[in-house]
Amino acid sequence: MAGPQPSPTVWARPRRERPALTVERIVDEAVSLMDAEGIDALTMRALGARLGAGATSMYRHVANREELLELAVDRAYAEIRVPRCEQPEHWREAVSGYARSMRSMVARHGWIAAALPGVGLYYLGPNVLRLSESLNQVFEVAGFPAAEIDMAITAVLGYAVGMCVAESAWLTKVGRSGKSEQECLAELQPVIERALADHPRIAQLRAARGEVDIRAVRDAKFNYGLDRMLDGLRSRPIGGAA
């Protein structure tokens, strides 16, 4: 049986156009890979296989895995929003919106909890700087002294990141189990009860709560801590902010 006949001219031959390899495409694929398989799955070889590109091609755009992670973190930060604040009385709503937007982003990209400590002391990505600029504007409108704005932002960021990292670790374990949060909690219940046998105060508090919606508990804990932090910032004698 004769094989396929060659085209009579090169212009008649079907062509497969490969999308140009760009930094943006590399970072998009890296984020997709980590979303699906976790941060440990990200290697230059695995990424090259997904892109259909050799390591040499990728190294023209990113120097190494660490640089790629910096770019991926900044890409994830593009999803965080800071509500616009034009009146001093709206500063709290804007800062709360930022913290909750960050929490949602971390929930979508569980790998970022492990990536943040390794991206360096100076966060100079354009999306990180955009967020910082927006938050500076919020605290400025609120009347915070210039010398305190950076510390206030650091305090809110530290709280949000700390809570999100702990929450992400739990959600990652739940995801790997293939079960729902409630199912995982139900399985842990006998272990928790045994662990609390010698701690009556904690056991009594848990018993008083009865059956809980674990997601609602997570929401309540995040919001409680955020509200108390903002209460503390509001108590500062600043420009009449409420």
**CATH no. for residue 117?**
1.10.357.10
- Domain hosting residue 42, numbered range: 15-62
**Are residues 151 and 96 both part of a single domain?**
yes
AA letter at 47: L
Closest to 219 (Cα-Cα) out of 107, 120, 115, 116: 107
The separation between the first and the last C-alpha atoms of the chain, rounded to the nearest angstrom, is: 85
How many domains is the chain partitioned into structurally? 2
**CATH no. for residue 28?**
1.10.10.60
Residues 1-41 pLDDT 10s: 555 666 566 666 566 556 678 999 999 999 999 999 999 99
CB distance 61 to 23 below 8 Å: yes
Residues 95-150 pLDDT 10s: 999 999 999 999 999 999 888 876 655 577 899 899 999 999 999 999 999 999 99
**Are residues 122 and 159 both part of a single domain?**
yes
**Are residues 219 and 136 both part of a single domain?**
yes
| Length of the chain counted residue by residue | 242
